[in-house]
A and B are shown apart, each in its own frame.
Chain A
Amino acid sequence: MSARVSNPETILSVRDLEKTYPNGVRALKGVSFDVKRGEFLVIIGLSGSGKSTMLRCLNRLHDPTGGRILFKGRDVTGIEGQGVLELRSRIGMIFQHFNLIPRHTVIGNVLSGALSRTSTLKSVLGLWSREDREKAMRYLRLVGIGDKAYYRAAQLSGGQQQRVAIARALTQSPDVLLADEPVASLDPATCHTVMDYLKKVNQELGLTIICNLHFLSLVRQYATRVIALKGGEVVYEGDPNSIDDAWFQRIYGEGAKEVHIN
């Protein structure tokens, strides 16, 4: 394992990561894995298996209580203040409920991806740089909703809002994109559109993606590698297509049946 840390291809290394919440819940119990540049890594597991906590530790929305995270070879577990903000600016994130500002315009939401490189005063006054404006518009076109730039975010459908969220994350020019259940609140058809855009971003921009998912059928279709969490521990790591029924039962529990999304 330790040899892989020095591998230049490794963008993120997680070692023995622990997270115990103040109420005593142990969400992560020594999780270790590596992420290679350009991967589409999917994390699967039941609700409460620690998937969301895992992602939020990577960009320090949550503080881990043990273990180490190496981002591009640098230990980011103990950093504070400005360091955390810089780390987050390098790691984009999208969420199950999109987490946009509903009353702001679509383009305004996308531009908030440029907050970390805009001074507080300029951002409050809305004085975004020309580059950032162009970049925001470019990514909005990339996810196919350039024509909706001046709509309010709340006027868009769920799938469109998630695409705005992707554009916001891309505007950060991140090294890694975290996706926490990006399609869990979308209908099956829209679900594939959003996943296809993530795949496009992964393949065309070469962006590394770490994505939490529920549905195994989506995992097989999009993931290049998969990790399964159960009770805060890694129980499977490998090729998505080698998850057979036996593995499925072990990850999701006895008697679980696979549901397909088409």
Chain B
Amino acid sequence: MTQTSIGPAVRRTIFDAFVFAYVAFALYALATNPTEEMLLDLERNAALAGSLALVGAAASLAFNKSGCRTLGEVLFAPAHKRQAAGEPKAWFKTFWGQQAVVTTLVTLVAGLIVTEFSLVALLDRERISQASKLLGQLFNPGWAILPTVVLHMVQTVYMAFVATAIAVPIAFALSFLSAKNIMRSSAAGLATYTILRVIFNVSRSIEPIIWAIIFALWVGFGPFAGMLALMIQSIASLAKQYSEYVEGVDEGPIEGIRSTGATMLQTVWFAIVPQVTLPYISYTIYRWDTNVRMATIIGFVGGGGIGKLLIEYQLQGAWPEVGCILLVVAFVVWVMDAFSAYVREAIK
């Protein structure tokens, strides 16, 4: 049995309603060129979008009933209804094809306006020369500060390493508690599973840069705050990935170990752990590598390490020094990436 409780017809209607409301609203905004005051009137806009969605839903039902397949129908129709009635048409001659083209075009036009796309600014001669001067300075690095840069880079790599090292045992323990195949046997287990999954998803969706700000206020600016931020992110991310490996294990060995009269912990250790060790190691190395890259950004907001140095020189406009830092960061990231790929290939 599938887990989806919403029928395909409902999903189709919701999708069509959303797309219609979006296109109609964007066209309306493009046509009337509204003032900022109008754009900020959330209540009025929400009401407008809501009623447009209702119109869209009605239109979706009407079109599909009359045999004209909408985009939502094409996307969500169950497999047995996929056979098109009658002669197949080229996709751009179908209703859903045209619907897709109109939606894409409207999005592109609206997008160019919203991002203030300007060919004039892009091709302005004076501005080009300013930017190229900056680029020139960046590519003419100030090697004098190299020893300081290396020192800060070492700090960053250690930040990433300690964050990963602390996160691994915690995530390891949590991964079994958040694996559905282990926890589904009892109501308490299922509750634990659900709560942990929610916590992981929430803490993963908060960017480490936000965690860094929180921890900088808590423990003071510096590498410790940065390390804590990376650690929180790593625990959630490792635990989620680990638990997916646990959910993918072969059930046979579990049954084999259970049949000997082994306890729950023994079953996990003997039947599951041997199956997940290699993928765990592989993903952990990848995570360390990711943490080194993130540690750079985290330094920007008071997390210490190379990021702190980078933001200091950037605020002074010391572009050759910034160039030196960027090159060192690029080099270390490249080495880490190659190292992690090499190790992961070797243990596969």
**Which A residues contact B (CB, under 8 angstroms)?**
23, 59, 61, 85-93, 95, 97-104, 112-113, 115-116, 120, 123-124, 165, 168-169, 172, 178
Cross-chain contact B261 with A97 (CB below 8 angstroms): no
Cross-chain contact B252 with A95 (CB below 8 angstroms): yes
B173-211 at interface with A (beta carbon < 8 Å): none
* Contact A172:B270 (CB < 8 A) given known A95-B256, A99-B255, A165-B256: no
Complex contacts, A168 vs chain B, CB 8 Å: 256, 260
Residue of A85, A99, A178 near B256 (CB, 8 A) is A99
Residue of A59, A87, A103, A178 near B274 (CB, 8 A) is A103
CA distance A86 to B275 in the complex (A): 26
Of the four ranges (under 10, 10 to 19, 20 to 34, 35 or more), the interface on chain B belongs to 20 to 34
Cross-chain contact A115 with B260 (CB below 8 angstroms): yes
CA distance A124 to B272 in the complex (A): 13
Complex contacts, B132 vs chain A, CB 8 Å: none
Cross-chain contact B266 with A123 (CB below 8 angstroms): yes
Complex contacts, A87 vs chain B, CB 8 Å: 261
Cross-chain contact B258 with A88 (CB below 8 angstroms): yes
Cross-chain contact A115 with B271 (CB below 8 angstroms): no
Kindly provide the distance from the CB of B23 to the nearest chain A CB, expressed in whole angstroms: 44
Residue of A23, A59, A102, A103 near B259 (CB, 8 A) is A59
Cross-chain contact B255 with A172 (CB below 8 angstroms): no
Complex contacts, B253 vs chain A, CB 8 Å: 99-102
Complex contacts, B341 vs chain A, CB 8 Å: none
Kindly provide the distance from the CB of A87 to the nearest chain B CB, expressed in whole angstroms: 8
B233-272 at interface with A (beta carbon < 8 Å): 252-253, 255-263, 265-266, 269-271
* Contact A115:B255 (CB < 8 A) given known A85-B262, A101-B274, A120-B265: no
CA distance A116 to B1 in the complex (A): 36
Cross-chain contact B263 with A120 (CB below 8 angstroms): yes
Complex contacts, B275 vs chain A, CB 8 Å: 101, 103
Complex contacts, B257 vs chain A, CB 8 Å: 101, 112, 115
Additional 18 contacts, C-beta under 8 A, given A116-B261, A123-B269: A85-B261, A85-B262, A85-B263, A88-B258, A88-B259, A92-B260, A95-B256, A99-B252, A99-B256, A99-B259, A101-B270, A102-B274, A104-B274, A112-B257, A112-B270, A115-B260, A172-B260, A172-B261
Nearest CB to that of A115 among chain B residues? Answer: B262
The 7 closest A-B pairs by CB, nearest first: A99-B256, A89-B261, A116-B261, A88-B261, A93-B259, A115-B262, A99-B252
Cross-chain contact B259 with A61 (CB below 8 angstroms): yes
Cross-chain contact B256 with A115 (CB below 8 angstroms): no
Residue of B256, B261, B266, B269 near A100 (CB, 8 A) is B256
CA distance A105 to B275 in the complex (A): 14
Complex contacts, A99 vs chain B, CB 8 Å: 252-253, 255-256, 259
Kindly provide the distance from the CB of B20 to the nearest chain A CB, expressed in whole angstroms: 40
Complex contacts, B258 vs chain A, CB 8 Å: 61, 88
Cross-chain contact B260 with A101 (CB below 8 angstroms): no
